[in-house]
Amino acid sequence: MDFRRIEWLFLVAFIVIDIFLFAAFQRDTSGETDTTSSRSADSDTTIIKEMRADEITFSAPSKKSGEGYYISTTNDASIKSSLTSLSDQTVRYQTDGTIASTFKTAITGVDTKHPDKTLDTVVNNGALILNGTNYFYNSQLSSRNTVVYTQHVTDGQIYSRYGEIRFSLTNDGQVTGYTQGYLASVATLREKTETISERKALIWLYQYNQIANNTKIVWTKLAYTRYFTLKNSSVYIPTWVIAVKANSGNNAGVLQLKHVNAFTGAILTNDSNVKTVSGTSTTSN
């Protein structure tokens, strides 16, 4: 029995069902009367006011819808065989398909406020980083002691450790090593589809009690995160990643990443929490 073929049949069936449900949602939405649409807009405005009354601070969210794809990737074993091409470091291939490396000589003189000035050159050096030209510095996910580069695919960025380079940065500006995840054989599974707006994502997050009172929305980003995975492949979808930080209480100083499926509005569960001492620190799934 061809188990690989069965896996893909399940994958395609799952996506078809997801697309059908989303299309039904869109059809129901587009079939509303102008009066209903007006009431919905008024309701959203009311909820935004309620959020501010609950001392949730944020910039005015965009009402504009976006676009995105379902994208698939495969686990590329060739990255393991490519490790021998890297120099001046001790590197190992990990069981989850990522690599971890320690430089034999630390990179010094890195500006902790603008680490990309030095690390852009490192990332684009094929002798030090594999496929580095596919990554770009990400200030949102970076902190004082972790510098993050995210992989760009199709029309967006990967906000997941499986598509990131994460450099360890000391307080005196030394980079001692890094971890890297790389998504190979990226392909779109269907045509580009409309996504919900930033405003809708915030409202639904609030309505599902995922944003506490006296909280600050630090930033929001429409990016790709992993939806599900099979044995040798994964599917990524557009996701509203919303960074939330409590202003007081036991969670003060903790940055929490909330994830909202940008196609359906469903709340995803791969949140991350990391206490911050200086700057913004996060992890990704």
Residue 201 phi/psi, 5-degree rounding, is: -60, -45
- What number is the average pLDDT over the span 96-114? 95
pLDDT the model gives residue 79: 83
- What number is the average pLDDT over the span 74-103? 90
Whole-angstrom Cα distance, residue 101 to residue 86? 10
pLDDT at 1 over 80: no
pLDDT digits (tens, 9 = 90+) for 43-88: 899 999 999 999 999 999 999 999 999 999 987 677 888 999 999 9
Q: Which residue has the higher pLDDT, 208 or 20?
A: 208
Residue 10 phi/psi, 5-degree rounding, is: -65, -40
- What number is the average pLDDT over the span 29-46? 62
pLDDT the model gives residue 28: 47
pLDDT band at 282 (very low <50, low <70, confident <90, very high): very low
- What number is the average pLDDT over the span 13-29? 55
Q: Which residue has the higher pLDDT, 122 or 249?
A: 122
pLDDT at 195 over 90: yes
Decide the pairing of beta strands 56-57 and 215-229. Answer: parallel
Q: What pTM value is reported for the model?
A: 0.82
Contacts of 261 (CB under 8 A, 6+ apart): 227, 237, 239, 267, 268
pLDDT the model gives residue 21: 52
Whole-angstrom Cα distance, residue 43 to residue 2? 51
pLDDT at 153 over 80: yes
pLDDT digits (tens, 9 = 90+) for 253-277: 788 999 999 999 999 986 444 333 3
Q: Which residue has the higher pLDDT, 201 or 15?
A: 201
pLDDT the model gives residue 253: 74
Strand-pairing partners, residue 242, are 220, 258
pLDDT the model gives residue 272: 45
pLDDT the model gives residue 2: 58
Whether residue 15 contacts residue 189, with contact meaning beta carbons closer than 8 Å, is answered with yes
Helix axes 34-53, 198-207, angle to 10 degrees: 60
pLDDT the model gives residue 246: 86
Structure tokens, 69: 């794809």
